[in-house]
């Protein structure tokens, strides 16, 4: 037996494809960071201090990987709630002991090294949620169970919001997607999409000055027509009336929140992404430079280490949040698509692995991993190409940073370890 | 399959959905129409022009006349100036806030023009010609002024201030020059006049480029290593002018206090040895920051110091023209050295009277030149155009005109300067217009003595002297002897091809004999001659309807194998012998006996100190 003795489980090989894709991504990440932070005039390939740091982080994640691979799953299971508690505690502690980085108080500083506990909160939350739903006799049913499930991930989300790290907090919304697999009715998600649509409509009306009464009129009109056709079924017509009323209420609330609660810079960002504003010099500078970087890649890219947009600092945060620009600029459309394929391949693989779990714990953990990664990928890349507002969250395995890399490594390998010993 | 597991399709569908949407968006950015790559390159590279040194210009003996000096400009990206520390900029440049705003706007206009001219990026000159102090301060503080950088370029310094009209001045390339030649960018200094203009393409050298990386704050981040982006500038080749430095200095001294021109040509080559105008300006004030200011004040100056009278000023040549008339008459067969005409203090014909100064007895041709007898040339002129062989005065005149034009008169001599005047040799048509259709030789009799409609530039008068010195031919006069490495067949055709007059060389002897008598006793310029040098000359006095007559003198020396032909014109100077003759003769002495004290110190002193009001 190669690995540690296991709890009566059948011995399976760890999933090679996932590990392969993980390694490829980490290597792409390292090369991109190295390029984005290299000197324009270097004659020989040499590593920037940031690239060397990333190498150290990668070394650390190898330690994490082997630690997990040689741990007993029972131990992982045993410490899940403890881990969760530690993560929550650290995230609260950082509010008092942490240092502020670009407006967010979410970092512990140790000399030159920073640790961001919110990154670890994701994996801890996923494990806690998995363990709770995996507990014998517990299902995603009943008010109490649902409440506890929501509490498990809304608590860290709230704490991280207090840290003023909106991006990391929003990531916890991806657990709603996980719950869909565990029985959360689809209509709730559809409702969410519907409400998002309503919100966007309202914001557009607020930002452009188009009267919001059109929205009310439309809701009233559509509702009336539908009620008219369903007038024989009291239940349905009642439901439609209810939806229309709730929608109208939500529509009103969004208007109020948008115009009086949000800060001007937040409004600017939203309007920028919605295409309601174009501002190439001011706020739009980052997005524009990001687009120039990616666009400059054209079909085949400008070549490794040849991306000037990222190296010369035109793209902000070029080695962290905007690392995808380096890929787009240096490897072009082909490289970007290959990268997306690799990442989506890993996501799909994780979904498939999650689905083959025999335990709820394993399944929930797998779906959590897939959903969190999916959220990060869509928000991060969407941001660089202007489909999503500028929300500062890293691209997993690619962006520079120890916390993110270690947390996602921990997440992925914990799941792969669980998968390895599935019954 | 339980209900939940069917839902995995939704997840995979979602992943696929995002992949497709993002791929499409990536395609629209990366494969779309927007030239993002160009934008990225323009972002990250700044091509700094390395301005070459313009050519040094030497005189014919190798003395430096004009050289280049280094100057530094502050250039900027005027559209990227955001958080400008105006206080710092104001204190370094010692200017106030409104001026800064003004400069930014100016730079933006330049940048726009440069963009139109396909410039690499939207940077442009901000503040030209920094002082040493400004330069030092800026070098230390440039990192605090993002969007600004220092560029160096070359300006001019003149070792001699006596030839501003020949050498020319530089100026900022204007729209028309840029359209003409896309080598130039707004803010570039180009030759505007003189040799600097005529040989601009040779003199300016070749610009080099230093391409530097620049980051988001427009701060330089090192030179781009790729050699295709970097090449050094090439200095303009040495230019050997035909001018004589010392002669220029001397001539300018003699012309002090007088309005006029001195032009001297080496007859055997057409090279212009001296080219002096007064009034002129100090070319060293037409450099650097003061250029524009100086230029404006020079333009307003009533003395017209910018006016290049040597090639633009036109004057009646007066009696100097008698030499040409005599040559043509001999060629036409109506005059021989033995022909004599009497003079009774003037020439009378009906109501027409051309006065003459008192002199003895009937004169032969040689004597008529020495004495400059008006009556003699009235007769000669009538003999030419009333020649029975033509039967009609207009045909006779046309023959005269043809001969005159062969002397390069009435058209540009094609000196290597722009804006040369043609002067005027009246055509039959012009005389018809002026005098009506039925004019006779007597009507236009004043042409015989170089008055009337005939107008010549000082350069053309000098060239006539050169033609006589050569006995019938000339090279187009030119100011540049040689430019290193410059070979141009068009230039050679212009300046290396002999041009022949219609006059047979044998006819020149008598005229030259007469001219050699002019500075001797009994000649019109007696007393101005130089011992040991046989000067052949002809005085002239051009009637000036606006004031006192112009003093004119043309000469060449020595008589055999002439080395220098010269024309001097002093406006309102009266008789040719009064001012023009002594100036020209001293110049000849200076040129033929360089480094020797003048044999006529009193005459020299008089010229240096006298002033004609």
Q: Is A182 on the interface with B (CB under 8 A)?
A: yes
Which run of H or of E encompasses A118? helix A117-134
Q: Does B24 reach chain A within 8 Å, measured CB to CB?
A: no
Residue B546 has pLDDT above 70, yes or no: yes
Complex ipTM: 0.90
How far from each other are the two terminal CA atoms of chain A, in whole angstroms? Answer: 17
Do A328 and B16 make contact, defined as CB atoms within 8 angstroms? no
- Alpha-carbon distances of B221 from A40, B81, B189, rounded to whole Å: 8, 18, 28
Extents of the domains making up chain A: 16-184+283-420, 188-262
Interior/surface letters B90-102, b for 16+ CB within 10 angstroms, e for the rest: eebbeeeeeebee
CB A255 within 8 A of CB A209: no
Check pLDDT > 50 for residue B303.
yes
Residue B176 has pLDDT above 80, yes or no: no
Instruction: Please tell me the predicted confidence (pLDDT) of residue B192.
Output: 92
Alpha-carbon distance B425 to B422, whole Å?
A: 9
Q: Does B85 touch chain A (CB under 8 A)?
A: no
How far lies A354's CA from each of A10, A15, A21, A173, B168, in Å? 17, 12, 16, 19, 86
Q: Tell if the CB–CB gap between B15 and A374 is shorter than 8 Å.
A: yes
Phi then psi for residue B353, to 5 deg, are -145, 125
CATH class of B48-156+204-239: alpha beta
The first and second tokens of residue A305, run together, are 């280490």
Distances (CA, A) of A365 to A62, A169, B483: 21, 19, 84
Least confident of B47-61, B130-144, B179-193, B343-357: B343-357
Residues A262, A270: Cα–Cα separation, whole Å: 10
| Residue A92 host element (H or E) | helix A73-97
What is the model's pLDDT at position A4? Answer: 45
Mapping DSSP to helix (H, G, I), strand (E, B) and coil, where does residue B411 land?
coil
**What is the CATH superfamily name and number for domain B245-291+305-609?**
DD-peptidase/beta-lactamase superfamily (3.40.710.10)
Among A50-59, B57-66, B223-232, B517-526, the least confident range: B223-232
Distance from CA of B31 to the nearest CA of A (A): 6
Q: SS3 for B158?
A: strand
Question: Which one of A37, A308, A352 makes the best mutation probe of the B interface by having the most chain B beta carbons within 10 Å?
Answer: A308
Q: Could you tell me how many CB contacts below 8 A there are between chain A and chain B?
A: 136
- pLDDT of A363: 94
The minimum CA-CA distance between A42 and chain B, rounded to whole Å, is: 9
- Work out the mean pLDDT of chain B and round it to a whole number: 90
Higher pLDDT, A102 or B595: B595
| Alpha-helical segments (H) within A230-263 | 234-256
Of residues B203 and A390, which shows the higher confidence score? B203
Q: What residues does each domain of chain B span? A: 48-156+204-239, 245-291+305-609
CA-based nearest residue in chain B for residue A348: B12
User: Phi first, then psi: what are they for B151, rounded to 5°?
Assistant: -120, 145
Distances (CA, A) of A103 to A266, A290, A392, A393: 14, 22, 12, 14
- DSSP state, residue A257: I
Percent of chain B scored above 90 by pLDDT?
A: 63
The token pair at B357 is: 């100064």
Question: Once rounded to an integer, what is the mean pLDDT over residues B478-496?
Answer: 92
- Asked if A326 and A36 touch (Cβ cutoff 8 Å), the reply is yes
Nearest-angstrom CA–CA distance, B240 and A352: 86
List per-residue pLDDT tens for chain A, 423 residues long. Answer: 344 444 444 456 899 999 999 999 999 999 999 999 887 776 667 888 899 999 999 999 999 999 999 888 888 888 999 999 999 999 999 999 888 776 778 888 876 778 899 999 999 999 999 999 998 888 888 889 999 999 999 999 999 989 888 889 999 999 999 999 988 888 888 888 888 888 888 888 888 778 888 888 888 898 889 888 888 888 888 888 888 888 999 999 988 888 888 778 778 777 766 666 665 555 567 888 899 999 999 999 999 988 888 888 888 888 889 999 999 999 999 999 999 999 999 999 999 999 999 999 999 999 999 999 999 999 999 999 988 877 789 999 999 999 999 999 999 999 999 999 876
Rg (chain A; Cα; Å) = 23
Residue B119: which pLDDT band, with cuts at 50, 70 and 90? Answer: low
Residue B298's nearest CA partner among B310, B312, B315, B283 is: B283
> Is the Cβ pair B31, A333 closer than 8 Å?
yes
**Residue scoring higher pLDDT (B288 or B57):** B57
Q: What is the pTM of this model?
A: 0.73
Q: What is the mean pLDDT of residues B354-367?
A: 84
Instruction: Return residues 244-283 of A near B (CB < 8 Å).
Output: 281
Residue B576 has pLDDT above 80, yes or no: yes
pLDDT of residue A7: 46
The confidence band for B473, taking pLDDT boundaries of 50, 70 and 90, is: very high
For the stretch B503-521, pLDDT in tens is 999 999 999 999 999 999 9
What does the pLDDT read at residue A300? 95
Residues B612 and B550: beta-carbon distance below 8 Å? no
Handedness of CA B401, B405, B406, B407 (dihedral sign): positive
CB A14 within 8 A of CB A416: yes
Chain A: closest CA distance from residue B212 (Å) = 10
Question: What are the Cα distances from residue A303, in Å, to A296, A300, A326, B349, B357?
Answer: 11, 8, 10, 96, 93
């Amino acid at each position: 037996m190669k690995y540690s003795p296991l709890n009566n489980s059948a011995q399976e090989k760890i999933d090679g494809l996932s590990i392969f894709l993980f390694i490829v991504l980490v290597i792409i990440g390292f090369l991109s960071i190295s390029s984005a932070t290299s000197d324009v005039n270097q004659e020989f390939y040499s590593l920037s201090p940031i690239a060397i740091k990333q190498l150290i982080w990668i070394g650390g994640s190898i330690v994490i990987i082997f630690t997990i691979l040689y741990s007993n799953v029972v131990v992982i299971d045993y410490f899940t709630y403890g881990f969760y508690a530690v993560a929550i505690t650290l995230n609260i502690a950082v509010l008092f002991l942490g240092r502020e980085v670009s407006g967010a108080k979410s970092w512990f500083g140790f000399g030159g090294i920073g640790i961001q506990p919110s990154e670890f909160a994701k994996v801890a939350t996923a494990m806690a949620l998995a363990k709770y739903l995996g507990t014998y006799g517990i299902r995603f049913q009943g008010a109490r169970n649902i409440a506890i499930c929501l509490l498990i991930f809304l608590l860290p989300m709230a704490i991280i919001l207090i840290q003023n790290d909106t991006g990391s907090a929003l990531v916890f919304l991806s657990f709603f997607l996980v719950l869909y697999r565990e029985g959360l009715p689809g209509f709730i998600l559809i409702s969410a999409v519907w409400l998002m649509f309503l919100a966007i409509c309202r914001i557009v009306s607020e930002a452009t000055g188009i009267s919001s009464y059109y929205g009310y009129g439309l809701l009233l009109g559509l509702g009336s027509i539908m009620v008219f056709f369903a007038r024989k079924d009291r239940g349905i017509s009642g439901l439609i009336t209810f939806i229309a009323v709730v929608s109208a209420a939500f529509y009103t609330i969004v208007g109020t929140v948008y115009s009086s609660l949000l800060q001007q810079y937040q409004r600017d960002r939203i309007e920028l992404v919605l295409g309601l504003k174009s501002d190439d010099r001011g706020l739009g500078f980052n997005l524009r430079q990001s687009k120039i970087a990616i666009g400059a890649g054209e079909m085949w890219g400008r070549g490794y280490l040849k991306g000037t947009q990222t190296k010369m600092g035109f793209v902000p945060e070029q080695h962290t949040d905007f690392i995808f620009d380096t890929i787009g600029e240096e490897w072009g459309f082909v490289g970007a698509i290959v990268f997306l394929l690799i990442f989506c391949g890993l996501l799909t693989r994780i979904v498939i692995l999650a689905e083959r779990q025999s335990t709820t714990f394993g399944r929930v953990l797998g779906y959590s991993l897939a959903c969190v990664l999916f959220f990060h990928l869509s928000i991060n890349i969407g941001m660089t190409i202007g489909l999503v507002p500028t929300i500062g969250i890293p691209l997993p395995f690619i962006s520079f940073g120890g916390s993110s890399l270690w947390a996602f490594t921990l997440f992925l390998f914990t799941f792969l370890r669980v998968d390895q010993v599935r019954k | 399959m339980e209900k939940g597991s069917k839902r995995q399709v939704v997840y995979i569908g979602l992943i696929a959905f995002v992949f497709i949407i993002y791929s499409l968006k990536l395609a629209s950015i990366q494969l779309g129409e927007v030239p993002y790559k160009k934008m990225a390159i323009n972002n990250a590279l700044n091509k700094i022009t390395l301005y070459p040194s313009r050519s040094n210009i030497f005189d014919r003996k190798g003395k430096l006349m004009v050289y280049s000096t280094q100057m530094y400009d502050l250039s900027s990206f005027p559209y990227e100036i955001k958080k400008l520390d105006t206080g710092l900029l104001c204190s370094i440049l010692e200017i106030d806030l409104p001026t800064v705003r003004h400069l930014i706007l100016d730079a933006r206009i330049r940048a726009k023009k440069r963009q139109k001219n396909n410039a690499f990026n939207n940077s442009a000159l901000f503040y030209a010609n920094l002082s040493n102090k400004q330069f030092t301060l800026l070098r230390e503080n440039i990192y605090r002024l993002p969007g600004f950088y220092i560029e160096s370029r070359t300006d001019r310094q003149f070792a001699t201030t006596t030839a501003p009209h020949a050498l020319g001045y530089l100026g900022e390339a204007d729209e028309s020059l840029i359209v003409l030649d896309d080598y130039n960018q707004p803010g570039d200094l180009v030759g505007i006049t003189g040799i600097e203009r005529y040989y601009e393409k040779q003199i300016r050298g070749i610009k080099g480029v230093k391409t530097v990386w620049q980051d988001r704050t427009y701060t330089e981040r090192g030179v781009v290593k790729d050699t295709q982006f970097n090449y050094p500038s090439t200095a303009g080749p040495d230019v050997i002018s035909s001018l004589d430095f010392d002669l220029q200095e001397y001539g300018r001294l003699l012309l002090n206090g007088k309005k006029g021109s001195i032009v001297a040509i080496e007859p055997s080559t057409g090279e212009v040895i001296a080219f002096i105008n007064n009034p002129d300006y100090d070319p060293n004030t037409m450099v650097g920051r003061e250029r524009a200011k100086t230029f404006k004040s020079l333009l307003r100056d009533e003395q017209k110091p910018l006016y290049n009278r040597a090639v633009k000023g036109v004057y009646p040549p007066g009696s100097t023209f008698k030499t040409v008339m005599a040559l043509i008459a001999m060629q036409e067969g109506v005059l021989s050295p033995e022909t004599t005409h009497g003079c009774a203090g003037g020439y009378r014909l009906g109501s027409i009277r051309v006065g003459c100064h008192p002199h003895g007895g009937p004169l032969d041709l040689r004597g008529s030149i020495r004495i400059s007898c008006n009556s003699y040339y009235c007769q000669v002129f009538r003999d030419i155009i009333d020649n029975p062989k033509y039967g009609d005065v207009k045909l006779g005149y046309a023959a005269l005109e043809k001969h005159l034009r062969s002397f390069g008169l009435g058209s540009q001599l094609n000196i290597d300067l722009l804006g040369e005047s043609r002067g005027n040799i009246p055509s039959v048509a012009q005389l018809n217009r002026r005098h009506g259709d039925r004019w006779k030789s007597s009507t236009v009799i004043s042409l015989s003595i170089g008055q009337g409609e005939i107008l010549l530039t000082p350069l053309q008068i000098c060239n006539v002297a050169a033609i006589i010195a050569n006995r019938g031919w000339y090279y187009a006069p030119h100011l540049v002897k040689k430019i290193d490495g410059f070979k141009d067949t068009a230039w050679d055709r212009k300046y290396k091809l002999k041009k022949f007059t219609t006059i047979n060389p044998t006819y020149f002897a008598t005229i030259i004999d007469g001219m050699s008598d002019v500075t001797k006793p009994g000649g019109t310029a007696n007393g101005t001659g130089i011992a040991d040098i046989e000067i052949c000359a002809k005085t002239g006095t051009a009637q000036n309807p606006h004031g006192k007559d112009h003093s004119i003198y043309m000469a060449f020396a020595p008589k055999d194998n002439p080395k220098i032909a010269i024309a001097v014109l002093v406006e309102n100077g009266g008789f040719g012998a009064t001012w023009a003759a002594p100036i020209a003769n001293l110049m000849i002495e200076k040129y033929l006996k360089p480094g020797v004290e003048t044999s006529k110190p009193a005459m020299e002193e008089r010229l240096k100190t006298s002033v004609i009001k």
